[in-house]
């Protein structure tokens, strides 16, 4: 069986777990915290990051965008990306925005948690918060009154933004309430959480 190396808090790994569940793709889960000394991530991915998906022939795939696209291609059921070129680029732009919100969130987390207090640079975190807020506001404006970003059905964008929001909530609940500031995204998240793929992958510490 193909294997996913993941950590329970990783928003990128959550994308992969939701995508696989929505596509009905089974896999073996291997818990791996890339910060721990016993991590297998470095041996499988020169970048030392999870998620990593190990294919049947032993090839280790990364990063989450490549893995999600791979999983989508394994079965025609519940497509996560549109076929038409222009639509696909539109969706991938939103996917990149959701990933960028995760990247900025992780940058703040690393600054605050991995760097000694005396060496921390608050302006760096403020810059990252700017990316998070502008990204969330843009996603909220572009979703507007629709239930889904594209094509009236669940796809990679909903998976990405929900994973980003779950992570923002996990790390920054003392900084701001994304639910209060972005009610359109909050309503989307609540709807998505009715699906098992989303509710069973909520990040836990
Ligand atoms: N762009 C990558 C980001 C993956 C990533 O940054 N994963 C984090 C965990 S959330 C990680 O493994 N960090 C360990 C490190 O950077 O050394 C993806 O989409 O998969």
The strands making up 28-31's β-sheet, listed across from edge to edge, are 28-31, 3-6, 52-54, 60-61
**What pLDDT is recorded for position 134?**
98
3-class DSSP state for residue 150?
Answer: coil
Is the bond into 63 cis (omega within 30 degrees of 0)? yes
pLDDT by position in tens, the chain (length 205): 999 999 999 999 999 999 999 999 999 999 999 999 999 999 999 999 999 999 999 999 999 999 999 999 999 999 999 999 999 999 999 999 999 999 999 999 999 988 999 999 999 999 999 999 999 999 999 999 999 999 999 999 999 999 999 999 999 999 999 999 999 999 999 999 999 999 999 998 8
Strand ranges for the chain from DSSP E: 3-6, 28-31, 52-54, 60-61
Q: Is the CB of 12 under 6 A from ligand 1?
A: yes
3-class DSSP state for residue 75?
Answer: coil
Q: Is the CB of 198 under 6 A from ligand 1?
A: no
Environment class of residue 88 by beta-carbon count within 10 Å: exposed (0-12), middle (13-18) or buried (19+)? Answer: middle
**What pLDDT is recorded for position 114?**
86
Strand ranges for 108-154 from DSSP E: none
Nearest-atom index, ligand 1, CA of 10: 10
3-class DSSP state for residue 47?
Answer: coil
Identify the structural domains of the chain with CATH numbers, from first to last. 3-74 (3.40.30.10), 85-199 (1.20.1050.10)
Query: Ligand 1: which of 49, 52, 99, 114 to mutate, most ligand atoms within 8 Å of CB?
Result: 49
CA of 49 to the centre of ligand 1 (A): 4
3-class DSSP state for residue 202?
Answer: coil
CA of 31 to the centre of ligand 1 (A): 14
Helix (H) or strand (E) holding 175, with range, is: none
Answer yes or no: are the C-beta atoms of 6 and 29 closer than 8 Å: yes
CA of 51 to the centre of ligand 1 (A): 7
Answer yes or no: are the C-beta atoms of 149 and 158 closer than 8 Å: yes
Q: What pairing do the DSSP bridges indicate for beta strands 3-6 and 52-54?
A: antiparallel
**What pLDDT is recorded for position 205?**
86
How far, in Å, CA of 30 to CA of 39, rounded? 11
Answer yes or no: are the C-beta atoms of 50 and 5 closer than 8 Å: yes
Q: Which protein residue has the closest C-alpha to ligand 1 atom 14?
A: 49
């Amino acid at each position: 069986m193909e294997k996913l190396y993941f950590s329970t808090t990783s928003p990128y790994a959550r994308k992969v777990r939701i995508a696989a569940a929505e596509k009905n793709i089974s896999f073996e889960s291997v818990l791996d915290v890339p910060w721990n000394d016993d991590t297998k991530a470095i041996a499988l991915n020169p970048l030392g990051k999870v998620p990593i998906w190990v294919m049947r022939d032993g090839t280790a795939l990364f990063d989450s965008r490549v893995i999600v696209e791979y999983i989508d291609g394994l079965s025609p059921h519940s497509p996560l990306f549109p076929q038409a070129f222009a639509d696909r680029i539109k969706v991938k732009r939103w996917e990149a925005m959701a990933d960028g919100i995760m990247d900025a969130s992780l940058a703040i987390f690393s600054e605050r948690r991995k760097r000694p207090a005396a060496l921390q640079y608050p302006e760096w975190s403020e810059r990252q918060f700017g990316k998070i807020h502008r990204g969330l506001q843009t996603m909220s404006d572009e979703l507007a009154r629709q239930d889904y970003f594209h094509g009236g059905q669940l796809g990679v964008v909903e998976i990405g933004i929900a994973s980003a929001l779950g992570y923002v909530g996990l790390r920054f609940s003392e900084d701001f309430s994304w639910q209060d500031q972005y009610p359109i995204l909050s309503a989307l998240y609540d709807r998505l959480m009715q699906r098992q793929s989303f509710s069973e992958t909520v990040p836990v510490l």
